Structure 1
Amino acid sequence: MEHNKTFKDIQGHWAKEEIEIMVAKHIAKGKVKDNFAPNDIISRAEFTDLIVRVLGLEGSENNEYAPEKAITSDNNDGNKICSG
């Protein structure tokens, strides 16, 4: 589902067309209702959110951190160590 939306602060911006395409495809969102803030620095969380939407990933029902489910390997003395 696509929708047409533009923002006040992208008028005349070099990436206006690309921003509107990403917004129409629900990949990108604005910072607030009428502003996209195209020159702002993107945070890690915003970048991750963008990648999740681009790839069409979905969250699980249980989003709790589970260190016991981390990939592990045994070292020589039998203690488990994280491989990542």
Structure 2
Amino acid sequence: MASSGYGDANQKIDYVFKVVLIGDSAVGKSQILARFARNDFSLDSKATIGVEFQTRTLVIQHKSVKAQIWDTAGQERS
């Protein structure tokens, strides 16, 4: 099972996953990232400009897994 910890900067990384969040503007991509990476949630968030990046390291089945997550600016609907 995944640990609730955020990992140790000096630990060995067994796997790295790179994930890009894409979708329409104002659907919650940044909030999903904030909750996962920092266990944070805010009702007062601003639109992402360009791209933001965060990481989190978990231990899953005794393996260290690092998630690198890119949050993109949303696509306006027409």
The TM-score normalised by the length of structure 2 is 0.23
Higher strand share: 2
Higher relative contact order (CA 8 A, sep 6+): 2
Larger Rg, first or second structure (1 or 2):
1
Higher helix share: 1
